[in-house]
Amino acid sequence: MDPFFLVGVLVCSVSAVLCVGASLLRQPPNDITILSVAAVELFLLAYSVGAGIRQVTGDPVLGEAWEFWGYLLTALVVPVGAFWWSILDRTRWSNLVLAAAGLTVFVMLFRMEQIWDGVAGL
């Protein structure tokens, strides 16, 4: 397992749990939930740099490179969209959108790990 993947799982999971918890407590989006999604975005930026360095230094994507980078670019957009949603809709339901961003990025990270290792898709 790639250490970047494990860190991503942790960051996405913590973000999702915090956001679901805030929604269950009937809280509108607050600093904690918004910053947790910002942490997901920050992780993705670091992951992008790390993936670029890995590829340049001779650790190639064994699957389709265009698919990997497409997933990564899409994953970078998801937390930003969730952030804007939470700013525009200040209800507790926005926290579920923020939680969905963490879960979505987790699934995309899992698929990116498969693509990098050359595992055939489903």
The closest of 13, 22, 44, 2 to 94, measured between CA atoms, is 22
Distance separating alpha carbons of residues 68 and 119, to the nearest angstrom: 12
Is 33's pLDDT higher than 90?
yes
Is 31's pLDDT higher than 70?
yes
pLDDT digit string, tens, across residues 34-83: 999 999 999 999 999 999 999 999 888 898 999 999 999 999 999 999 99
The 3-state DSSP class for residue 88 equals helix
- Is residue 120 classed exposed, middle or buried when 0-12, 13-18 and 19+ CB atoms within 10 A define those classes? exposed
Sign of CA dihedral 70, 20, 10, 120: negative
User: Structure pTM?
Assistant: 0.90
- 3-117 folds as Four Helix Bundle (Hemerythrin (Met), subunit A) (1.20.120)
Element (H, E) at 102: helix 93-117
The 3-state DSSP class for residue 66 equals helix
The 3-state DSSP class for residue 90 equals coil
Q: What is the pLDDT of residue 99?
A: 96
Is 101's pLDDT higher than 90?
yes
Structural domain boundaries in the chain: 3-117
Mean local confidence (pLDDT), 87-109 = 94
Q: Average pLDDT over the chain, rounded to whole?
A: 93
Is 122's pLDDT higher than 60?
no
Q: How many DSSP H helices and E strands does the chain contain?
A: 4, 0
